[in-house]
Amino acid sequence: MAQILITALLAGFAVASATAQSKTSPASTAAAGVRYLDEVFSSYTRTDNITFGEAVNISTGQMETLKLDLYQPSGDTEPYRAAFVWVHPGGFVQGDKGDPKIVERCDTFAKRGYVCIANNYRLWDTSYSDADTVAIKQAYEDTKAAIRWLRANAAAYRIDVNRISVGGTSSGGFIALSTAYEENVGNSGNPGFSSEVSASIDGSGSLVDDGIINIGEAPLMIVHGDQDENVPYTEALELEARALATGIPYEFHTFVGEDHSWTDAERQQFIEWAADFNYRYVIQTAIGGVPAVTVSDVAVAEGNSGTLNAVFTLNLSAPTANGQVVTFDYVTANGSASAGSDYVAKSGTFSIPAGATSQTLAVAINGDTDNESDETFFLNLQKPANARLMDLQGMGTIQNDDLAGAPAAPTGLTAAAMSATQVDLNWNDNSSNEDGFAIERKTGAGAFVEIATVVAQTRNYSDASVSPATAYTYRVRAYNDIASSGYSNEASATTPCGVVAAFAANVTSGCAPLSVNFTDQSSPQSGVTSWSWNFGDGGTATTQNPTHVFSMPGTYTITLTTSSASCNDVETKSNYITVTGAPTANFTATPVSGNVPLTVNFTDQSTNNPTAWSWSFGDGGTSSAKNPSRQYTAPGTYTVTLTATNACGSDGETKVGYITVSNTPVNLALNKPGTASSTSGSNTPSRAVDGSTSTYWRSGNLSSGTVAWLRVDLQSTQSLGRVVVNWRSSYYARRYQIQVSNDNSSWTTVFSTLSGNGGNDDILFSAVSARYVRVYMTRNNKSNERIKEFEVYGGATVLGRPCADAAAPDAAGPGALELLQNYPNPFSASGAFGSTVTSVRYRLAQASAIELKVYNMLGQQIALLASGVRAAGEHAAHFDATGLPSGIYFSVLQVGEEKRVMRMQLLK
């Protein structure tokens, strides 16, 4: 089966209307109005961010904590409930368990009676290579750990361990399939429990190798759009073929005319299909025909010596069919009781003979004469054969029958200073036979002295006999008429100072120089003996109510320290005084160059909070807005001036020759005659020069290394300097050349590559005169070549900037720089896993002064991504296209006079 690339799952797609077709392996449909089919609960409870495991993210090398959200129907009394795991989408590189679509599915399934979980998994860092199979592997390993967590906590959440299913869409579908059928379980958490599921629900997903599905494995539901180009429909057909070959129960639903994105109605239909499928193949199957094992709890008095038995009764809901023997493993586990001292540990395999419905199992209890609380231990059941476990655990209670003696010591003592004259104590009472508690206290290194007693069952005390600014240590003991307990732990607290520092100022902001009157508001006023002020600008004072002049603009933190006879207190007000000076004018603009008409957005970056602005744009235009826009309608170089003003003064900033406006490049190949070495069907060469990226030329099928070419006749000799090849998906040439000719016979190569990687190749070369241009492909990536658009531009200007002259020196040296295709590409904010941020990477053979910019199709500069000297090696910058329209953009890397260009596509 073909591997589906993560990049395909990250593209944005339009939502189309569609109709549904379905194929189902034979099964009966359940009646409506029952649990798991209908919303029989009106609400649910959700517990967020439960930790279920941890693992190292291979792409980052960092340990990650794995969390899940748990949904349970409100007011549910069912002892054993089916569970469903919904896995979020996101192309393996983004997304979260809080995805609205996942919340919607868990909402619906919880109200229908399921315990539903949504789990996070390790996301892939796209800067790391070899993403596809490893990203899927660590994602499904984490999901298997979440399923093991359900089984490990089945008793606490009343989970039927024989009815756990998994589902997801897009990358979540990939993970649901791999979770169900991959044998590898990983080590993300909860070892010792099964990762198996009862069913897998797949929406628009696939498997790297569908051969992992074997006879007798979990039922499978497949839902797919037949126009899906991200995960082709053929992947779903291959899954169906494997289900038929192995004989596993399956259903296949098709959204006719639909691509990778679904409408709201289709998403709801998917939920209904999933609920119905799971009911028929998991709920009814698990309930019918398979007897259930339960185990009773047991309680026994321990006695004073020797051993006696705690006898557990294990019941079978019905005899097995065909004379089968029921077996399962059992093992005892500590609760508050300890194996060895309180009971004898036991483990093994237990059998219920054919035809029997009840058997007993005895665990030996050790008697003693210790007066203690009742203690518990557990009998855990697992790995059933010929039955399912309704109970995973039985509890044994060892009842204390010994007489009382001295009370137990209190524990967990805490002390907290509530004020300068009060300390509050709290502790745990561990006895039921004390007469009261004695409280002892010491100061510093002194001896403990009893300061009070309180009655039995008391757990707190307030000590009001303390002094300000003093450290105290406490301990507590219980006593009765027989003896005293040992002491609790010790707890310490230090009372605060009896004086509280406070102050205020008559003004807190103004122009420099600013005179401020400070007023002491400490309490009690009678207790303060001295004051120490720090004004944050190097100035200080020791008077009670000082005046201070702030001569420089800035924000100042003020501190007052007050002293009393016994202690000091400090009041600090951060950034309390703001002193403003005249503005320092400054501004930026985006873009600073481009083609006519050029709209430039200016951004004020003046400091000291200006309140008025005066702009002169160099073309006769002015503005008083803070951040104006200006459209330049004529080519030229323009000087821009900003004058910024506030109540404290004004300042001006002039940038000479700041804005450069140029003319617009023309695609010379648009709608010109095209010819190719071969053509498949209606995908003729004309479709590669029609200006539309929704059509494409396709060659005939090619064996590896077969030459193919696509040629355009410009119909007259032109000066050429740039070619753009827009490859379709993964059907690109790994090795190809750009060649030009004046007679369609003798060809000159102006560009050659041995490492083509698809996407949009924007190629610059020294100006040359030619009538014919062709892309000459010598090694294909797949069985044929496909080009969406083949564009040719003149050699005079590129992106509104002069092209390098053919004889100009190569400042960086041959092969000194390489601009790589951005990732992801295309990039988009729409869909379940889109992003308006794309990563642009480039390589330098030696340390160089570089500029990395982004232009639109009009040649207007959109962004400056990097500028300055960079070391040799690979670098990356990020382009955030938030707020920009859909279309084609160009990343341009320039070192000296050498330039590299790569085309990017933004979808909205």
Tens digits of residue pLDDT in 378-391: 999 888 788 766 66
Residues 651 and 514 occupy one common structural domain: no
Whether 21 is in a domain gets the answer no
Using 50, 70 and 90 to split pLDDT, how confident is the model at 829? low
Whether 466 is in a domain gets the answer yes
**Does the pLDDT at position 29 exceed 80?**
no
| Domain boundary pick from 640, 662, 684 | 662
Query: How far is 611 from 603, CA to CA, in rounded Å?
Result: 14
Residue with tokens 């403990």: 448
Residues 70 and 92 occupy one common structural domain: yes
Using 50, 70 and 90 to split pLDDT, how confident is the model at 203? very high
Within 10 A of 78 (CB to CB), how many other CB atoms are there? 12
Query: How far is 810 from 869, CA to CA, in rounded Å?
Result: 17
Query: How far is 274 from 265, CA to CA, in rounded Å?
Result: 14
Residues 695-701: contacts with CB under 8 Å, at least 24 apart: 695/788, 696/728, 696/786, 696/787, 696/788, 697/786, 697/787, 697/790, 698/728, 698/731, 698/784, 698/785, 698/786, 699/784, 699/785, 699/786, 700/784, 701/783, 701/784
Residues 720 and 601 occupy one common structural domain: no
**Does the pLDDT at position 708 exceed 70?**
yes
Residues 874 and 737 occupy one common structural domain: no
Whether 803 is in a domain gets the answer no
Structural domain containing residue 114 = 26-287
Residues 813 and 767 occupy one common structural domain: no
Residues 609 and 710 occupy one common structural domain: no
- The beta strands (E) that lie in 617-673 are given as 622-623, 629-632, 636-646, 649-662
Residues 240 and 98 occupy one common structural domain: yes
**How many domains is the chain partitioned into structurally?**
7
**Does the pLDDT at position 737 exceed 70?**
yes
| Domain boundary pick from 662, 686, 711 | 662
Query: How far is 738 from 753, CA to CA, in rounded Å?
Result: 9
Tell me which range, 355-359, 497-501, 663-667, is most confidently predicted by mean pLDDT. 355-359
The answer to whether 171 and 92 are in contact (CB under 8 A) is yes
Residues 608 and 622 occupy one common structural domain: yes
Q: What mean pLDDT comes out for the span 7-18?
A: 37
Query: How far is 458 from 631, CA to CA, in rounded Å?
Result: 79
Residues 448 and 566 occupy one common structural domain: no
Q: What is the pLDDT of residue 612?
A: 96
Whether 575 is in a domain gets the answer yes
**Does the pLDDT at position 372 exceed 80?**
no
Residues 897 and 787 occupy one common structural domain: no
Query: How far is 638 from 660, CA to CA, in rounded Å?
Result: 7
pLDDT tens-digit series, residues 238-264: 999 999 999 888 999 999 999 999 999
Whether 9 is in a domain gets the answer no
Q: What is the pLDDT of residue 828?
A: 79
Using 50, 70 and 90 to split pLDDT, how confident is the model at 752? confident
Amino acid at site 28: S
CATH code, 344: 2.60.40.2030
The number of CA neighbours under 13 Å toward the Cβ of 636 is: 11
- The beta strands (E) that lie in 156-236 are given as 159-169, 199-203, 220-225
Residue with the bigger pLDDT between 5 and 784: it is 784
pLDDT tens-digit series, residues 838-852: 889 999 989 888 999
Whether 420 is in a domain gets the answer yes
Mean pLDDT estimate for the chain: 87
Q: What is the pLDDT of residue 795?
A: 67
Which two tokens mark 533?
Answer: 């002020």
When mean pLDDT is compared across 353-362, 541-550, 671-680, 803-812, the lowest value belongs to 803-812
pLDDT tens-digit series, residues 261-309: 999 999 999 999 999 899 888 886 544 456 778 888 999 988 878 889 9
| Domain boundary pick from 375, 399, 423 | 399
Residues 159 and 179 occupy one common structural domain: yes
Whether 736 is in a domain gets the answer yes
The answer to whether 186 and 253 are in contact (CB under 8 A) is no
Q: What is the pLDDT of residue 527?
A: 73
Q: What is the pLDDT of residue 589?
A: 96
Residues 639 and 710 occupy one common structural domain: no
Torsion angle (degrees, nearest 10) of CA 883, 889, 893, 899: -150
Helices (H), 89-170: 100-111, 131-152, 154-157
